Amino acid sequence: MRNFEEWLGTMRPSINQYDYYVDFDKVYENVEAMKVELNIMNSLIGSKNIENDIRQLIERYPEIIKCIPTLLAVRQTEIYAQDDDGAFNYNFIEMNYDIEQYIVFMKKTGLLDLISNHLINNLVDYCLGIEVGLDSNGRKNRGGHQMEDLVESYLEKAGVEYYKEMYLTEIEEKWGVDLSPISAEGKSTKRWDFVVKTVEKIYVIETNFYSAGGSKLNETSRSYELIAQKMKEVDGVEFIWVTDGGGWKSARKNLSETFGVLDTLFNIKDMEDGALKSLFDYGKNGLFEM
């Protein structure tokens, strides 16, 4: 039998991969898309008459205004700003005010001062730095898929037939199984992260990773414990939960209860030790002991 405390001790604080921190390909692509316009604006650096020079530049090259949001580290193509002089919603794809109002915007936001006082030497390099900072907002999305990607890599190594993001009703229709015990008699629209089909069984898989604790972990553990108990009423279908993360150390009580009723509760270390492959190869009766 597995020991819960020993198993919990193998949980990892993070699963961040090298490409989690910055997507440099995306950064380079975004800067490249406005490189010409940025180089045109480079002529303004150190200008002694910045307002006149930016006016002439916009008259000649109106397309340069598309760079302005990025220079302010803003993703939107429209920016709202107001003060005692009024409220304005500036469009940086197609100018919706005259040039003078856009000059007001750049003056009041500090852009003209940044450029004219030689605080930067090259707008292309400056935007590279901004894009790196803006890309950090994408870490949440990249991080949210890392555990699923990791589990999928082990499914591929196991050489099994698997499906991603499959709804409970789709499983019933595809293989003619009755999942009513876990669907609240057809009321649930549960979607599983993965579904594995072997000759003997259907395995439904949930995956997650929690680097920090919180009430959500206790709710998740309780709900999966209930699924594990209800799944015993379904012939030919088995529930697998793959989870990890240091957050579980503060929610050990509920996880321990689920661990006691769900033999197929695994973490990353279990996958590395071949738990999934062994289960699919030899677990014909739905049990797997480490």
Q: Can you give the pTM of this predicted structure?
A: 0.73
Yes or no: say if 245 and 12 are a contact pair by the CB < 8 Å rule. yes
| pLDDT of 261 | 92
Which of 144, 188, 158 minimizes the C-alpha distance to 170? 188
Measure the CA–CA gap between 21 and 13, rounded to whole angstroms: 16
Beta strands in the chain (DSSP E): 78-83, 86-91, 161-167, 191-197, 202-209, 237-244, 265-266
| pLDDT of 185 | 56
Query: What whole-number percentage of the chain has pLDDT above 70?
Result: 94
| pLDDT of 38 | 97
Q: Token digits for 56?
A: 């002439």
For residue 113, give the amino acid letter. D
User: For residue 46, is it left (φ>0), alpha (ψ between -120 and 50) or beta?
Assistant: left
| pLDDT of 170 | 93
| pLDDT of 211 | 87
Exposure letters 73-85 (e unless 16+ CB within 10 A, then b):
eeeeeebeeeeee
Go through the domains of the chain in sequence order and give each one's CATH number. 4-11+139-282 (3.40.1350), 18-137 (no CATH)
Say if strands 191-197 and 161-167 run parallel, antiparallel, or are unpaired: antiparallel
pLDDT digits (tens, 9 = 90+) for 163-199: 999 999 999 999 999 888 887 655 567 899 999 999 8
68-76 average pLDDT score: 95
| pLDDT of 1 | 78
Lowest mean pLDDT among 64-73, 139-148, 225-234: 139-148
Measure the CA–CA gap between 144 and 137, rounded to whole angstroms: 12
pLDDT digits (tens, 9 = 90+) for 84-133: 999 999 999 999 999 999 999 999 999 999 999 878 899 999 999 999 99
Measure the CA–CA gap between 251 and 216, rounded to whole angstroms: 9
245-266 average pLDDT score: 93
